[in-house]
Structure 1
Amino acid sequence: MSDITAWFRGRLPADWFEQVPEIGVDREEILVVGRVPAPEQQDEQQDGQGDDTARRQAEAGRIARFREDTRARRMQIADEAERRFGRKVAWGAACGETRTVFTSLAVPVMTRLRQPERQVLDTLVAAGVARSRAEALAWCVRLVGQHEGDWIERLRAALVAVEEARAAGPA
């Protein structure tokens, strides 16, 4: 994974992002999300909510401009990376408090669930939280990721340490 991150950090144009981009890697996909400069707010409004709405719109506009202006180069870099690493590349941008992922894979994942777990999914579907069991399961995974993010990060760090120990071990 560090080879992929290093390659992207060396390959991406220096003027695209304000700071080093986030590069997420799994078995199927590489996700590159960089922070673009926030636009300056020219029109100050009196009510705080109007300011927030205007700021969010300006951030979304800046992200859309970045997406259009860099499309050809991003596609070229993605093609190179896909050949080199055998994974699809997805892109995104962050601006202020707005974060947008342009394209990302939705990979089917098979699982076996016993009745109590299926009933949880069916309840979410019946309540209109999700349209299907698959969508309900994705909703549950997102919820765990949000509420147990620190624990998941510690687990990922532990897995990196295990990977390093295996690599340093006997051949």
Structure 2
Amino acid sequence: MNIYDYEVATIDGQHKSLEEYQGKVLLIVNTASKCGFTPQYKGLEALYQQYKNQGLEILGFPCNQFGHQEPGNETEIQAFCSSTYDVSFPLFSKIEVNGNHAHPLYQYLKDEQSGILGSKKIKWNFTKFLVDRAGKVVKRYAPTNTPESIKKDIEQLL
């Protein structure tokens, strides 16, 4: 299996194969609208605007597993992200990233890049995974790593 073998649901319910992103650099992020890290949407959108024409795609996956900080439905999430942070990068349907019901994509991401001390568990909202153009998961970032702090890593892959 590789990153391109997974299918996800867009925030408006359409099924999408990640194969559509082949040849792109991906930054995959579990997001939430009512989190202390929510302002990172601004930095993520800035990265997207700066590098999308060079092949960067940011994929946002809302998740309500951490402090119930993503309580809304997909319509509410999309409206919030658009009106508050002008998010234009792709958002997907709300998923789980840990536990028995974790989305297969996140099971794969965690297997490819473990967290601190080898833990595979996602610790909180805005954990980020960087994927190169060949589909290899090259790095995992903690929620405290701001989008601006990972800019150089993205530039190296572009």
- Compute the TM-score of the two structures, normalised by the length of structure 1: 0.20
Q: Select the structure that is richer in helix.
A: 1
Larger Rg: 1
Q: Select the structure that is richer in strand.
A: 2
